[in-house]
Amino acid sequence: MARIAVRDGLSSVGRDARDAWLLAPLIWHGLHGEADAAARNEKIDQELVRTLTRTAADLSEQASLAASSISRWVEGYALLNAAELSRIAAKPDPEAWRLAAQSWDKQRQPYPATYARFRESEALFFQRSRNSTAADLLRATYQKAAAMRAAPLLAEIEALAVRAHVTLNNKAAEEVMTSAAPTEPGPAESLTHRERQVWQELGAGHTNREIAEHLFISERTVEAHVSSILAKLNARTRVEAATAYVSWASAHRDTP
Protein backbone atom coordinates (compact mmCIF):
# COMPACT_ATOMS: atom_id res chain seq x y z
CA MET A 1 0.00 0.00 0.00
CA ALA A 2 2.78 2.47 0.88
CA ARG A 3 4.55 1.74 -2.41
CA ILE A 4 1.34 2.38 -4.32
CA ALA A 5 0.88 5.70 -2.49
CA VAL A 6 4.44 6.74 -3.35
CA ARG A 7 4.07 5.77 -7.01
CA ASP A 8 0.74 7.59 -7.22
CA GLY A 9 2.34 10.64 -5.64
CA LEU A 10 5.25 10.61 -8.08
CA SER A 11 2.83 10.51 -11.01
CA SER A 12 0.89 13.47 -9.61
CA VAL A 13 3.67 15.88 -8.62
CA GLY A 14 5.75 17.99 -10.97
CA ARG A 15 9.52 17.67 -11.28
CA ASP A 16 10.90 21.15 -10.71
CA ALA A 17 11.80 23.25 -7.68
CA ARG A 18 8.28 24.68 -7.43
CA ASP A 19 7.06 21.22 -6.42
CA ALA A 20 9.89 20.62 -3.91
CA TRP A 21 7.63 21.03 -0.87
CA LEU A 22 5.70 17.95 -1.99
CA LEU A 23 8.25 15.98 -3.97
CA ALA A 24 11.17 16.02 -1.52
CA PRO A 25 9.32 14.43 1.42
CA LEU A 26 7.56 12.00 -0.92
CA ILE A 27 10.91 10.71 -2.22
CA TRP A 28 12.22 10.33 1.32
CA HIS A 29 9.14 8.42 2.49
CA GLY A 30 9.55 6.06 -0.45
CA LEU A 31 13.19 5.33 0.41
CA HIS A 32 12.32 5.16 4.09
CA GLY A 33 9.75 2.47 3.31
CA GLU A 34 12.24 0.44 1.28
CA ALA A 35 14.83 0.78 4.05
CA ASP A 36 12.27 -0.53 6.55
CA ALA A 37 11.56 -3.43 4.21
CA ALA A 38 15.29 -4.21 4.05
CA ALA A 39 15.47 -4.15 7.86
CA ARG A 40 12.67 -6.72 7.97
CA ASN A 41 14.55 -8.85 5.42
CA GLU A 42 11.76 -8.33 2.91
CA LYS A 43 12.23 -7.94 -0.84
CA ILE A 44 13.19 -4.42 -1.89
CA ASP A 45 11.58 -2.79 -4.90
CA GLN A 46 14.81 -1.95 -6.70
CA GLU A 47 13.03 -0.30 -9.60
CA LEU A 48 11.29 2.09 -7.20
CA VAL A 49 14.58 2.81 -5.43
CA ARG A 50 16.22 3.69 -8.76
CA THR A 51 13.28 5.91 -9.74
CA LEU A 52 13.33 7.72 -6.40
CA THR A 53 17.10 8.18 -6.52
CA ARG A 54 17.00 9.62 -10.05
CA THR A 55 14.12 11.91 -9.17
CA ALA A 56 15.95 13.11 -6.05
CA ALA A 57 19.06 13.90 -8.08
CA ASP A 58 17.02 15.87 -10.62
CA LEU A 59 15.26 17.78 -7.86
CA SER A 60 18.54 18.66 -6.15
CA GLU A 61 19.87 20.05 -9.42
CA GLN A 62 16.74 22.14 -9.90
CA ALA A 63 16.73 23.33 -6.29
CA SER A 64 20.34 24.50 -6.46
CA LEU A 65 19.10 27.40 -8.59
CA ALA A 66 16.01 28.10 -6.49
CA ALA A 67 15.41 30.28 -3.42
CA SER A 68 17.48 29.45 -0.35
CA SER A 69 14.45 28.19 1.59
CA ILE A 70 13.75 25.64 -1.13
CA SER A 71 17.39 24.62 -1.56
CA ARG A 72 17.78 24.06 2.20
CA TRP A 73 14.57 22.02 2.29
CA VAL A 74 15.70 19.82 -0.59
CA GLU A 75 19.20 19.47 0.89
CA GLY A 76 17.77 18.25 4.19
CA TYR A 77 15.78 15.56 2.44
CA ALA A 78 18.72 14.68 0.19
CA LEU A 79 20.78 13.96 3.30
CA LEU A 80 17.98 11.80 4.70
CA ASN A 81 17.80 9.98 1.38
CA ALA A 82 21.54 9.24 1.40
CA ALA A 83 21.24 7.87 4.92
CA GLU A 84 18.22 5.72 4.02
CA LEU A 85 20.17 4.30 1.08
CA SER A 86 22.84 3.16 3.52
CA ARG A 87 20.12 1.25 5.38
CA ILE A 88 18.88 -0.28 2.13
CA ALA A 89 22.44 -1.45 1.42
CA ALA A 90 22.58 -3.00 4.92
CA LYS A 91 25.46 -0.66 5.79
CA PRO A 92 23.83 2.00 8.01
CA ASP A 93 26.11 5.05 8.15
CA PRO A 94 26.02 7.03 11.44
CA GLU A 95 27.85 9.97 9.85
CA ALA A 96 25.19 10.26 7.14
CA TRP A 97 22.49 10.39 9.80
CA ARG A 98 24.46 12.92 11.87
CA LEU A 99 24.73 15.26 8.89
CA ALA A 100 21.01 14.91 8.20
CA ALA A 101 20.18 15.76 11.82
CA GLN A 102 22.38 18.85 11.72
CA SER A 103 20.71 20.05 8.52
CA TRP A 104 17.24 19.80 10.07
CA ASP A 105 18.43 21.44 13.28
CA LYS A 106 19.46 24.48 11.23
CA GLN A 107 15.98 24.57 9.70
CA ARG A 108 14.38 24.25 13.14
CA GLN A 109 12.54 21.09 12.17
CA PRO A 110 12.64 18.86 15.29
CA TYR A 111 10.85 15.80 13.95
CA PRO A 112 13.21 14.88 11.06
CA ALA A 113 16.20 15.89 13.22
CA THR A 114 15.08 13.56 16.03
CA TYR A 115 14.34 10.76 13.59
CA ALA A 116 17.83 11.13 12.09
CA ARG A 117 19.44 10.95 15.53
CA PHE A 118 17.48 7.82 16.32
CA ARG A 119 18.85 6.24 13.15
CA GLU A 120 22.33 7.52 13.99
CA SER A 121 22.22 5.65 17.29
CA GLU A 122 20.93 2.54 15.50
CA ALA A 123 23.83 2.74 13.03
CA LEU A 124 26.32 3.13 15.87
CA PHE A 125 24.94 0.01 17.53
CA PHE A 126 25.25 -1.77 14.18
CA GLN A 127 28.96 -0.97 14.12
CA ARG A 128 29.36 -2.40 17.66
CA SER A 129 32.24 -0.07 18.41
CA ARG A 130 30.63 2.92 20.15
CA ASN A 131 27.81 1.40 22.17
CA SER A 132 28.18 3.87 25.04
CA THR A 133 27.83 6.85 22.67
CA ALA A 134 24.92 5.16 20.92
CA ALA A 135 23.13 4.50 24.22
CA ASP A 136 23.49 8.11 25.37
CA LEU A 137 22.21 9.36 22.01
CA LEU A 138 19.27 6.96 22.10
CA ARG A 139 18.25 8.15 25.57
CA ALA A 140 18.43 11.81 24.53
CA THR A 141 16.42 11.05 21.39
CA TYR A 142 13.81 9.25 23.46
CA GLN A 143 13.19 12.35 25.56
CA LYS A 144 12.92 14.59 22.49
CA ALA A 145 10.46 12.21 20.85
CA ALA A 146 8.40 12.17 24.05
CA ALA A 147 8.35 15.97 24.14
CA MET A 148 6.90 15.95 20.60
CA ARG A 149 4.37 13.20 21.44
CA ALA A 150 5.79 11.30 18.48
CA ALA A 151 4.26 7.97 19.48
CA PRO A 152 5.33 5.91 16.42
CA LEU A 153 8.92 7.15 16.76
CA LEU A 154 8.87 6.43 20.50
CA ALA A 155 7.80 2.87 19.76
CA GLU A 156 10.72 2.42 17.36
CA ILE A 157 13.17 3.84 19.91
CA GLU A 158 11.83 1.54 22.62
CA ALA A 159 12.15 -1.48 20.32
CA LEU A 160 15.77 -0.59 19.55
CA ALA A 161 16.48 -0.08 23.27
CA VAL A 162 15.23 -3.60 23.98
CA ARG A 163 17.43 -5.07 21.25
CA ALA A 164 20.46 -3.06 22.40
CA HIS A 165 19.84 -3.67 26.12
CA VAL A 166 19.58 0.06 26.84
CA THR A 167 17.59 1.31 29.83
CA LEU A 168 15.41 4.30 28.99
CA ASN A 169 13.90 6.81 31.40
CA ASN A 170 10.37 5.65 30.65
CA LYS A 171 8.88 7.37 33.69
CA ALA A 172 10.16 10.80 32.65
CA ALA A 173 8.92 10.23 29.10
CA GLU A 174 5.49 9.19 30.36
CA GLU A 175 5.27 12.36 32.46
CA VAL A 176 6.02 14.46 29.40
CA MET A 177 3.53 12.51 27.26
CA THR A 178 0.74 12.94 29.82
CA SER A 179 1.39 16.61 30.63
CA ALA A 180 -0.45 19.54 29.07
CA ALA A 181 -1.33 19.05 25.42
CA PRO A 182 1.23 20.40 22.93
CA THR A 183 0.42 23.03 20.35
CA GLU A 184 1.15 20.60 17.51
CA PRO A 185 0.56 16.84 17.18
CA GLY A 186 3.55 14.54 17.35
CA PRO A 187 3.04 12.37 14.27
CA ALA A 188 1.57 15.30 12.33
CA GLU A 189 4.38 17.70 13.14
CA SER A 190 6.08 17.03 9.84
CA LEU A 191 2.97 18.00 7.85
CA THR A 192 3.17 21.27 5.95
CA HIS A 193 0.53 23.96 6.45
CA ARG A 194 -1.26 22.94 3.24
CA GLU A 195 -1.12 19.25 4.18
CA ARG A 196 -2.78 20.07 7.50
CA GLN A 197 -5.55 21.85 5.62
CA VAL A 198 -6.05 18.78 3.43
CA TRP A 199 -5.87 16.55 6.53
CA GLN A 200 -8.67 18.59 8.12
CA GLU A 201 -10.73 18.17 4.96
CA LEU A 202 -10.14 14.42 5.10
CA GLY A 203 -11.30 14.44 8.69
CA ALA A 204 -14.53 16.05 7.52
CA GLY A 205 -15.03 13.20 5.06
CA HIS A 206 -14.65 15.25 1.91
CA THR A 207 -13.69 13.76 -1.46
CA ASN A 208 -10.66 14.90 -3.43
CA ARG A 209 -12.91 16.94 -5.73
CA GLU A 210 -14.53 18.67 -2.76
CA ILE A 211 -11.15 19.36 -1.16
CA ALA A 212 -9.87 20.83 -4.43
CA GLU A 213 -12.89 23.14 -4.61
CA HIS A 214 -12.61 24.21 -0.97
CA LEU A 215 -8.87 24.95 -1.15
CA PHE A 216 -8.82 26.27 -4.74
CA ILE A 217 -6.27 23.72 -5.95
CA SER A 218 -6.37 20.97 -8.57
CA GLU A 219 -7.47 17.41 -7.85
CA ARG A 220 -4.03 16.15 -8.88
CA THR A 221 -2.47 18.39 -6.25
CA VAL A 222 -4.93 17.06 -3.67
CA GLU A 223 -3.96 13.50 -4.64
CA ALA A 224 -0.30 14.33 -4.10
CA HIS A 225 -1.03 15.90 -0.71
CA VAL A 226 -3.10 12.90 0.37
CA SER A 227 -0.31 10.49 -0.63
CA SER A 228 2.20 12.52 1.36
CA ILE A 229 -0.12 12.69 4.39
CA LEU A 230 -0.67 8.92 4.37
CA ALA A 231 3.08 8.34 4.26
CA LYS A 232 3.87 10.84 7.02
CA LEU A 233 1.12 9.56 9.33
CA ASN A 234 1.94 5.92 8.53
CA ALA A 235 -1.72 5.48 7.56
CA ARG A 236 -2.73 2.80 5.09
CA THR A 237 -5.93 4.47 3.88
CA ARG A 238 -7.53 7.91 3.82
CA VAL A 239 -10.05 6.57 6.33
CA GLU A 240 -7.23 5.94 8.81
CA ALA A 241 -5.87 9.42 8.18
CA ALA A 242 -9.33 10.92 8.69
CA THR A 243 -9.77 9.00 11.92
CA ALA A 244 -6.38 10.23 13.10
CA TYR A 245 -7.45 13.81 12.44
CA VAL A 246 -10.70 13.41 14.36
CA SER A 247 -8.79 11.96 17.33
CA TRP A 248 -6.22 14.74 17.22
CA ALA A 249 -8.82 17.49 16.87
CA SER A 250 -10.74 16.12 19.84
CA ALA A 251 -7.60 16.04 21.99
CA HIS A 252 -6.63 19.60 20.97
CA ARG A 253 -10.07 21.19 20.98
CA ASP A 254 -9.18 23.48 23.87
CA THR A 255 -5.67 24.26 22.68
CA PRO A 256 -5.28 27.92 21.72
Q: How far apart, in whole angstroms, are the C-alpha atoms of residue 223 and residue 231? A: 12
Burial label for 111, CB within 10 Å (0-12, 13-18, 19+), is buried
Asked whether residue 218 is assigned to any structural domain, the reply reads yes
Residues 200 and 245 in one domain: yes
Q: Whole-model pTM?
A: 0.71
Task: Examine the domain organization and report whether 72 and 44 are in the same domain.
Answer: yes
Please indicate, yes or no, if residue 98 is contained in any of the structural domains.
no
Report residue 249 CA to chain centroid gap: 21
Where residue 245 falls among pLDDT bands split at 50, 70, 90? confident
Separation between Cα atoms, residue 28 and residue 26, nearest integer Å: 5
Residue 102 has pLDDT above 60, yes or no: yes
Q: Is the dihedral of CA 93, 88, 149, 191 positive or negative?
A: positive
Evaluate whether 101 touches 47 at the Cβ level (below 8 Å): no
Question: What is the per-residue pLDDT for 1?
Answer: 59
Contact 119, 104 (CB under 8 A): no
Give the residue from 62, 91, 120 where a domain finishes.
Answer: 91
Q: Which of 64, 91, 118 is the last residue of a domain?
A: 91
Nearest alpha-carbon partner for 200 in 134, 246, 163, 160: 246
Residues 156 and 174 in one domain: yes
d(CA 208, CA 229): 13
| Residue 109 located in a structural domain | yes
Q: Which of 25-34, 97-106, 195-204, 225-234 has the highest mean pLDDT?
A: 97-106
Give the pLDDT band (50/70/90) at residue 186: low
Question: Collapsing DSSP states into helix, strand and coil, what is residue 9?
Answer: helix
Q: Which of 60, 91, 122 is the last residue of a domain?
A: 91
Q: What's the mean per-residue pLDDT of the chain?
A: 84
> Any alpha helices (H) in 13-109, and if so which ranges?
20-39, 46-63, 68-88, 94-106
1 and 86 share one domain: yes
Report the C-alpha gap between 227 and 241 in whole angstroms. Answer: 10
Tally of domains within the chain: 3
- Residues 69 and 22 placed together within one structural domain of the fold: yes
> Do 109 and 82 share a structural domain?
no
Domain contains 151: yes
CATH code of the domain in which 239 resides = 1.10.10.10
Answer yes or no: is 154 within a domain.
yes
Report the range of poorest mean pLDDT among 8-22, 112-126, 143-157, 209-223: 8-22
255 located within any domain? no
Which pLDDT tens digit goes with each residue over 41-93?
999 999 999 999 999 999 999 888 888 888 998 999 999 999 999 999 999 99
Q: Are 161 and 142 in contact (CB under 8 A)?
A: yes
Q: Domain range holding 109?
A: 103-184
Gap between the Cα atoms of 171 and 244, Å rounded: 26
Same domain, 52 and 138: no
